[in-house]
Amino acid sequence: MVSWLWLLLVSFLQLEQAACEDYGYSFTSKELKAYKQEVKELFYFGFDNYLEHGYPFDEVRPISCVPKKRNFEDPNDRVTNDILGNFTITLIDSLTTIAVLQDKPRFLEAVRLVERTFPKGEFDVDSTVQVFETTIRVIGSLLSSHLYSTDPTKAVYLGNEYDGSLLALAQYMADRLLPAYLTHSGLPVPRIKVKKNLKVPDFTDPLSTENNVAAMACPMFEFTMLSYLTGDSKYEKVTRYAFDKTWSLRTDLNLLPMSFHPNKMTPYTPMTGVGASIDSFFEYALKGAVLFDDSELMGIWNVAYQSLKTNCKNDWFFTNVMADTGQLYVPWIDSLSAFFPGLQVLAGDVDDAIAKHLMFLKIWNTFGGIPERWLFRPPELFPPSSLGKSVPFDLNTILPLEWYPLRPEFFESTYFLYRATKDPFYLNIGVHLLRDLKQRFKSKCGFAGFQNVITGELQDRMETFVLSETLKYLYLLFDEGNEIHRSGSEVVFSTEAHPMWLPLEVRSKYKREAKFNDSTYVAHLEACYERDKELRAKEDTLRQRIIGFAKSIFSQDQADTNEDTAYDILDHKSNNEIPDSCPIRPRQATAHDSWYSPMLSKYKKLFEIDTRHADTLIKPSHMQNYSAIELEHSFYNRWSDPQFSTCQIMPTTEIFELLFDLPGLYRRVPITSNSNDTITFQTFGGRSRLNIEKMQIYKIGQYGDLITALNFQNISRRDLYSHYCDTIASLYSPTFLYRVVAINGDTVPFHGMVQVEKHNFVSFSNDTAEPDALITDSIGINDRAQLMIECTPIVNLILV
């Protein structure tokens, strides 16, 4: 009898286990709720361990369970002290994650702890800290938490239990950081001593002579929010001036070098890209445009993004190039650039965001994280050894910076792509990231990232962004019903993932009543403005490179202030006119949606990266048993469509770039596409970059098509402007042809045509040559209006 009952119980448990396994990856509301709860528990595991073992210091060491403190003995330890100002920064930076969890009791408890930690409403500490990091982690979180505390529509609204203490603390910190901008140029120094009284920055410190673009420009976002919430416009005016001044330092290609001397404005680092040191500039141009309804910021984003696409965009990532020439500078991408697909989603460029995000998924599959730097192109072989043989490269060469401190950027992009597409492909990624956090990174007192992705060694540190960003984005990925996702929500995330929004009454009141009465900063901006006018008078040729950095510093709605000084306003109109991008909203699922995952069933290049970058996507030994996330057996079987889940054949044709740096006005006019896949490119003035495919018979093209003799029918190679090609055309049949596969970073559809208005082939100024003068022996036009290179037509590039 006992044996029979035991067998019945075992059978029941087996059936239950089978049912549970079948339930996995269905992503029902019940399953998503379970994942969401797991993330919540992980957050409180890390947060509570910080409170027990790290508070009141800045961080907790997750392995040794002791505080990670500021280096009080060595103030020159910039690596440690730039972030750790002895501000209890993990507590402050985590506030908004508790708000996103909609946990009002814990939120109130954390706010009270901040108030007890800083009873005077000020940071009474003697620390020299980095202005940018302190702004995004401390001021940003305090402002967002203040919004949550005072907004009756939010779950953690505190009402009468809150007296504005967080806003006061944010303003105190801002007043201690703002003197960093009191330089001759108006651009901030990278670091400042918080406890010092108001003082002009000192440039005798060598570490004050270089500041990166993100740090110079981006405090504008949080400081402008502070102005809206306090009514004091000095924070906005001072930092917005620096943002615009930074943008004015761009090259003729509309690319910004990554760092400058903040006083002399001379560039230090000539390269540019979308990663470390410059990433947040693009982020805050677009997000600032959305949050503050600012058309000038939107214009900056449009010009900057188009220039990035023209000069930096590769098939699967954005490269680091020379800012003045657009040529490749270093063959690596860094972990911070994993945020950019999420920004592309906000800009509405979802298709390219999907491709760029896929690159980072493959990197995660390979290394178990996103290493700080990864070479996308095999390095040169080491010099020959004494035996005359070349020594092959290894993982240490491929990964010049080998750590991964659980940065949030890949989590962030995954979240935004799911909100835009609702493809379960991204939920599956989230499930695996959750599993990795639990099984590989969870330590005794927190979460430890990789010190070395090659060896799998963990680092005994949990930076504040793990709780404030990484886990927040993962939670929101699974929390479909979060108040942030409600229809009409106007939330914009800061670069530290602090939710920001501007209630209409706050916006209106600021426009009506904002004051700028601080004489120190009034005089500072007046002096900067006068120097700008002198500079323009001396070097008028720079005028086209300056976008509104002498815009109205004091707006008309401040006429009721006590200031008597009148200011001239430069009415600047950029030649780089591009219509505003439209930030997208999350797509709602419809009855017409396929059951299958579009990425698994329709994305034919899902595994192209694995082959193309096989030379540098080399798994370390500790990752050998880690399966590709997208090939998870249960997920793939449930969500792939067997009828369409096929891979495109890898291309065997060659690709080269054709650059047009032509005379005339430097204008960017949008590429427009209609229903028949004909792209009209209205001018080639300035720089245009064409990716040209060399088509040869029996090779596989970039679209997965087989090149056959049919592609070579009805070909004309007679040049309308020269007799140079006549002999070649009459004696030789073509063995290859060309076609454009991308133009200025935009992919040309298969069978698509590119039309260029012939009379606008170059946008000429009065003193430039006529169009015919540009046609040479190398470049011609045949009698079918196709552009030719050395007598070979580009079959889909037509002059009309």
Angle at 550 between CA 548 and CA 553, to 5 degrees: 110
Choice among 283, 334, 372, 402 that is catalytic: 372
Q: How far apart are CA 213 and CA 795, in angstroms?
A: 42
Q: How far apart are CA 89 and CA 55, in angstroms?
A: 9
Query: Which of helix, strand or coil describes residue 673?
Result: strand
Q: How far apart are CA 355 and CA 603, in angstroms?
A: 10
Q: How far apart are CA 471 and CA 722, in angstroms?
A: 64
The residue length of the chain stands at: 800
- Contact predicate 707/653, CB 8 Å: yes
Q: How far apart are CA 645 and CA 603, in angstroms?
A: 8
Q: How far apart are CA 230 and CA 671, in angstroms?
A: 43
Q: How far apart are CA 483 and CA 99, in angstroms?
A: 10
Beta strands 753-756 and 678-681 are parallel
Clarify whether 133 is annotated catalytic.
yes
Q: Residue 41 corresponds to which amino acid?
A: E
Strand partners, 678: 753
Choice among 133, 222, 402, 463 that is catalytic: 133
Cα torsion 61, 64, 69, 75: sign: negative
Clarify whether 677 is annotated catalytic.
no
Q: How far apart are CA 547 and CA 534, in angstroms?
A: 16
Clarify whether 372 is annotated catalytic.
yes
Choice among 93, 222, 232, 279 that is catalytic: 279
Q: Does 495 count as an annotated binding residue?
A: yes
For residue 505 the two structure tokens come to 């009454």
DSSP sequence for 478-498? H-TT-GGGSTT---EE-TT--
Choice among 59, 103, 283, 409 that is catalytic: 409
Q: Residue 510 corresponds to which amino acid?
A: Y
What does the DSSP 8-state code read for residue 371? -
Q: How far apart are CA 745 and CA 315, in angstroms?
A: 9
Query: Which of helix, strand or coil describes residue 203?
Result: coil
What does the DSSP 8-state code read for residue 393? P
For residue 270 the two structure tokens come to 């000539």
For residue 204 the two structure tokens come to 């005798």
Peptide bond into 56 cis (omega under 30): yes
CA separation, residue 67 to residues 83, 90, 621 (Å): 14, 11, 32
**In 3D, which of 142, 246, 230, 127 has the Cα closest to residue 549?**
246
Q: How far apart are CA 320 and CA 338, in angstroms?
A: 14
CA separation, residue 427 to residues 251, 413, 416 (Å): 41, 12, 11
**In 3D, which of 505, 740, 635 has the Cα closest to residue 27?**
635
Clarify whether 109 is annotated catalytic.
no
**In 3D, which of 515, 432, 6, 501 has the Cα closest to residue 232?**
515
Binding residues for Ca(2+), as ranges, are: 495
Binding residues, as ranges, are: 495
**Which residues are annotated as catalytic?**
133, 279, 372, 409
